[in-house]
């Protein structure tokens, strides 16, 4: 974790010297993101789990929810696996295969390779939901509160620290 923070600080310093700016957020927070046009503002932890397990498939306005995940191996995906799915990557693959075999879903959720890819996709698809490192948040997507808390708030459920643990 310490190495991650040092690398992040170095990145900010280098980016700043080239005229780029980056939003600062506490390292280790994963933001749940939707398109800015989405009217959702706050999800309960239970709703979030249902959406990510495809047990809840429609937004309140009736639009079908389009779930977007990230590829395995990222810190963000690991945190989502632990805090939302409470599974490892292999268990999640089996979970999706079971749902497909039972006819509950037609295919695996869309999977993208990076925070930028997930953010770009969600910014273009009005009913999409995904997750990114909160350091990548900008005005192209909207971060949702989870149980009334935003990334970097004490007790935020999708934080790497123990306070957010459920």
The stretches in the chain having pLDDT less than 50 are 4, 6, 12-27, 162-166
DSSP-derived letter for residue 163 is G
DSSP-derived letter for residue 144 is P
pLDDT of residue 73: 87
Residue 6 token pair: 């040092």
Neighbours of 67 (CB within 10 A): 18
Neighbours of 91 (CB within 10 A): 11
pLDDT of residue 2: 54
Tell me how far apart the 2 most distant CA atoms of the chain are, in Å.
Answer: 54
DSSP-derived letter for residue 44 is -
Domains of the chain: 25-159 (3.40.190.10)
pLDDT of residue 26: 43
Residue 164 token pair: 């957010």
Per-residue pLDDT tens digits for 20-50: 333 344 446 999 999 999 999 999 999 999 9
pTM: 0.80
pLDDT of residue 92: 96
As a whole number of angstroms, the distance between CA 15 and CA 40 comes to 33
As a whole number of angstroms, the distance between CA 165 and CA 159 comes to 7
Q: What is the mean pLDDT of the chain?
A: 85
């Amino acid at each position: 974790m310490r190495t991650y923070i040092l690398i992040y600080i170095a990145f900010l310093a280098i980016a700043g010297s080239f005229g780029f700016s980056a939003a600062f957020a506490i390292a280790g927070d994963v933001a749940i993101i939707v398109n800015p046009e989405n009217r959702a503002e706050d999800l309960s932890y239970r709703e979030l789990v249902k959406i990510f397990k495809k047990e809840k498939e429609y937004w309140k306005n009736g639009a079908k929810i389009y779930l977007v995940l990230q590829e395995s191996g990222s810190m963000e995906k690991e945190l989502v696996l632990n805090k939302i799915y409470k599974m490892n990557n292999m268990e999640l693959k089996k979970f999706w295969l079971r749902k497909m075999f039972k006819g509950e879903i037609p295919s695996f959720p869309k999977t993208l390779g990076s925070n930028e890819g997930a953010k770009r996709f969600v910014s273009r698809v009005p009913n999409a939901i995904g997750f990114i490192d909160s350091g990548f948040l900008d005005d192209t997507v909207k971060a949702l509160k989870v149980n009334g808390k935003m990334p970097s708030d004490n007790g935020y459920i999708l934080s790497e620290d123990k306070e957010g643990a459920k």
